[in-house]
Amino acid sequence: MSEGFLILSRRPQEGVTITVPASETETVVSVSSLGVQGCQVKLGFKASSDVTVLRDELIKHNTAEKTEGAA
């Protein structure tokens, strides 16, 4: 599988969710702090392409859309 690198900036109270699919082999996700500027940290994520890294606000947004669509 191919590997990718993602850079995200996060502020206090902002999160990231990492989803690793079930597998019989070990899956490694590396997270590095690339820098801090004021109250913002820049994070680097290195993982195989089947790993999903999402900002938490995207998960909340998608959940809200699904709830509205079901009503």
Domain count, the chain: 1
What pLDDT, in 10s, does the model give residues 11-64?
999 999 999 999 999 999 999 999 999 999 999 999 999 999 999 999 877 766
**DSSP state at residue 49:** T
- Please answer whether residues 6 and 52 qualify as being in contact, where contact means their C-beta atoms are separated by less than 8 angstroms: no
Question: What was the pLDDT predicted at 64?
Answer: 65
Question: What was the pLDDT predicted at 66?
Answer: 66
**Domain hosting residue 48, numbered range:** 3-70
Q: Does the pLDDT at position 3 exceed 90?
A: no
Q: Does the pLDDT at position 69 exceed 80?
A: no
- Please answer whether residues 58 and 9 qualify as being in contact, where contact means their C-beta atoms are separated by less than 8 angstroms: no
Question: What was the pLDDT predicted at 67?
Answer: 63
Q: Of 40, 42, 22, which Cα lies nearest the Cα of 31?
A: 42
Tell me the CATH number at 23. Answer: 2.60.40.4380
